[in-house]
Amino acid sequence: MNTKVTIAGVEFKNPVMSASGTFGSGMEYASLVDLNKLGAVVTKGVSNIPWEGNPTPRVAEVYGGMLNAIGLQNPGVDVFIERDLSFLSKYDTNVIVNVCGKSVEDYIEAVERLNDTNADMFEINVSCPNVKEGAIAFGQKADALFNITDKIKKVSKKPIIMKLSPNVTDITEMAKAAEAAGSDAISLINTITGMKIDIERRKFVLANKTGGMSGPAIKPVAVRMVYQCANAVKIPIIGMGGIMTGEDAVEFLMAGATAVAVGAANFINPSAMIDVIDGIDNYMRKHNVSDINEIIACV
Amino acid sequence: MFYRNVDEGKVISQEEISDGIFSLWIKNEGANEAGAGQFVGVYPKDKSTLLMRPISICETDKEAGSMRLVYRVAGKGTKEFSSLKKDDTVKILANLGNGFPVDEVKGKCIVLMGGGIGIPPMLGTAKALFGEDVHSYLGYRNNDTFLSDEFLKYSKVYLASEDGSVGVKGNVLDALRASINVKPDVIMACGPMPMLRAIKKYAEENNIKAYISLEERMACGVGACLGCVCKTVKKDDHSHVNNTRICTEGPVFDATEVDI
Ligand SMILES: Cc1cc2nc3c(=O)[nH]c(=O)nc-3n(C[C@H](O)[C@H](O)[C@H](O)COP(=O)(O)OP(=O)(O)OC[C@H]3O[C@@H](n4cnc5c(N)ncnc54)[C@H](O)[C@@H]3O)c2cc1C
Ligand SMILES: Cc1cc2nc3c(=O)[nH]c(=O)nc-3n(C[C@H](O)[C@H](O)[C@H](O)COP(=O)(O)O)c2cc1C
Ligand code: FES
């Protein structure tokens, strides 16, 4: 039975990876999960310099998932390379580094410093506030997305994956812009902007007022968007949003994703990724699927 | 002492020790590795409550391999836990956080302070310090002084109540100020934020070492999501910004290091 998939020339032993920001750099979960079993570890977003992130409360539970407004707190790329990437180099798994920034220059600086490391690919989070364009994220305007993809692609020595935000009118426009600018793959979806109000205190639950929703409740939206993008572009797609089980992952593969990422499920069940990997194996065995590539985009 | 696993806990017993406050004994593998002031994440079974609920380890029974959680019913998750019965199973992420540095304070005059639902972890701390010069100050709303009798086994006990119905009227610091013979070298505390802020200030003014246990909304409990941070005075060694993870570097902090 073959579970190997290839994205932009990088081979993955299976199509299951962590969703950025939900698994730290793997270090935090290494005593609970065998990292060698994962297709890849996708690390928490890292920027050129350290970021403080948002005030607390930063997380809230909602029906069927959670909201987060971490604000991309991270120690900066230098500490990250020295500590987190060297930790991950001990494991037999691919490493995808998620990069964030407030301006095109920030992204470029981070990517240039990561170019000569053991990272296999870069995932570019374009849902960060774009300070220069009045805090509208790069991921919400197709021309801004084209521009940043093009600039990063020109300096990156590794394949890049543009990570798309679902908070747009037509996600296929974004997918096409990323492809046209040379992105090697796309990943989707990032979190859906939400809000929760504490009716006893008459206050917002999150200090940031709004937060990104993730977890099982967003899965149908994510599957739909993966399907739409798979029909709009030729580059491979990493699908995510609410994956809890192997069956959920198979749904994304059938919708057109070449690989999948598991996010909030790690909080709900620390062995979620291993369960997803085993669940895909069980599905393949039960349905006599000898090569996982057979089911990708099969619907 | 480092133990990290998702334990399949088995309920030994549960009782309501005070109005809306439950005492739950669970047998699980992590119990024998648990330190005073550490906590666990208890997973509700109801799928509308997905995240684990952080609950402090009140005490452990090493012979039975069990731990005790004392909690207040605050919402859906704790409501579900309150219906757990003997022999039920419950999934818990154990053991989380650093705990109180009990080995570093031996031989000193130690004051433990607990306020309201912050009292439970102080019981296990008193137990771990049994035989030392320990004074426990417990603050309650009224004369419903849950757990206070149990502290008598390990330490001297001083009570405070907001309504003055028992002990000193006021909070735990008022009770400490009233006992002129107790001159603490170290304070260890858990309770509501205003109480912890007051203790931090009192300890700094009186040159006393203070360790305080903090609380914040959590998602992962293991240091991965960065949901549970607290502001720090200096740059934190792990985060490299002025933020530290309560679930991992805490929940217990040297009061001078956190900006609360
Ligand atoms: C380190 C730590 C130790 C704790 N120890 C104890 C203890 O020993 N006894 C006890 O009674 N309580 C303790 N708490 C508080 C306890 O976690 C909450 O009361 C509980 O999570 C409420 O869950 P719920 O589903 O009943 O409430 P809901 O309001 O329905 O919970 C909704 C969400 O908010 C979170 N939440 C709500 N209140 C709190 C809170 N005060 N702190 C953190 N998260 C919260 C829940 O975990 C859940 O994710 C502790 C909290 C922390 C952080
Ligand atoms: C706590 C938390 C932190 C996240 N941090 C990042 C991040 O740093 N960079 C990023 O691109 N996405 C981040 N995400 C989004 C996830 O990678 C993922 O796209 C989203 O949560 C949907 O997947 P899920 O429903 O499986 O969680 C974060 C999500 C959560 C819940
Ligand atoms: S709860 Fe995730 S880092 Fe503390």
User: B214-260 domain in CATH 2.10.240.10?
Assistant: yes
- Alpha carbon A250 to its chain centroid, in Å, reads 17
pLDDT tens-digit series, residues B17-70? 999 999 999 999 999 999 999 999 999 999 999 999 999 999 999 999 999 999
Centroid of ligand 1 to alpha carbon of A204 (angstroms): 18
Q: Does residue B215 line the site of ligand 1, with CB under 6 A?
A: yes
Give me the residue label for tokens 């006599």: A288
A221 lies in which domain range? Answer: 5-54+69-196+213-294
What is the pLDDT at residue B1? 74
Kindly state whether residue A137 falls inside one of the protein's structural domains.
yes
Cβ atoms of A205 and A60 closer than 8 Å: yes
Q: Is residue A117 part of a domain?
A: yes
- Mean pLDDT over A33-54 rounds to 97
Percent of chain B surpassing pLDDT 70 = 100
In a domain, A208, yes or no: no
**In which band, very low, low, confident or very high, does the pLDDT at A21 lie, cut at 50, 70 and 90?**
very high
A232 is a domain residue: yes
Residue A50 has pLDDT above 70, yes or no: yes
Name the residue with higher pLDDT: B121 or A135: B121
Residue B97 has pLDDT above 90, yes or no: yes
pLDDT for position A42: 98
DSSP letters along B92-131, please?
EEEEES----GGGSTTSEEEEEEEGGGSHHHHHHHHHTTT
pLDDT digits (tens, 9 = 90+) for A258-275: 999 999 999 999 999 999
Read off the pLDDT band of A185 (50, 70, 90). Answer: very high
Which pLDDT does position B162 carry in this prediction? 96
At A127 the pLDDT is 86
Beta bridge partners of B197: none
Q: What is the identity of the amino acid at A179?
A: E
Return d(Cα A61, Cα B75) in angstroms, integer.
12
Ligand 3, from B228, B241, B253: best to mutate by most atoms within 8 Å of Cβ? B228
Q: Is A158 on the interface with B (CB under 8 A)?
A: no
In a domain, A80, yes or no: yes
A7 vs A179, A243, B4, B117, CA distance in Å?
A: 14, 20, 34, 52
Are B122 and B150 spatial neighbours (Cβ–Cβ below 8 Å)?
no
Q: What would the two tokens of residue B176 be?
A: 């400490």
For residue A63, list chain B residues with Cβ-Cβ distance below 8 A. 48
SS3 A295: coil
Q: Options 3.60.15.10, 3.40.50.300, 1.10.10.10, 3.40.50.80; which CATH number does B102-208 get?
A: 3.40.50.80
What fold is seen in the domain B5-96? Elongation Factor Tu (Ef-tu); domain 3 (2.40.30)
pLDDT digits (tens, 9 = 90+) for A130-171: 777 766 788 899 999 999 999 999 999 999 999 999 999 999
CA distance readout (Å), A65 to A109, A209, A264, B54, B172: 34, 17, 8, 17, 39
Amino acid in the structure at residue A178: A
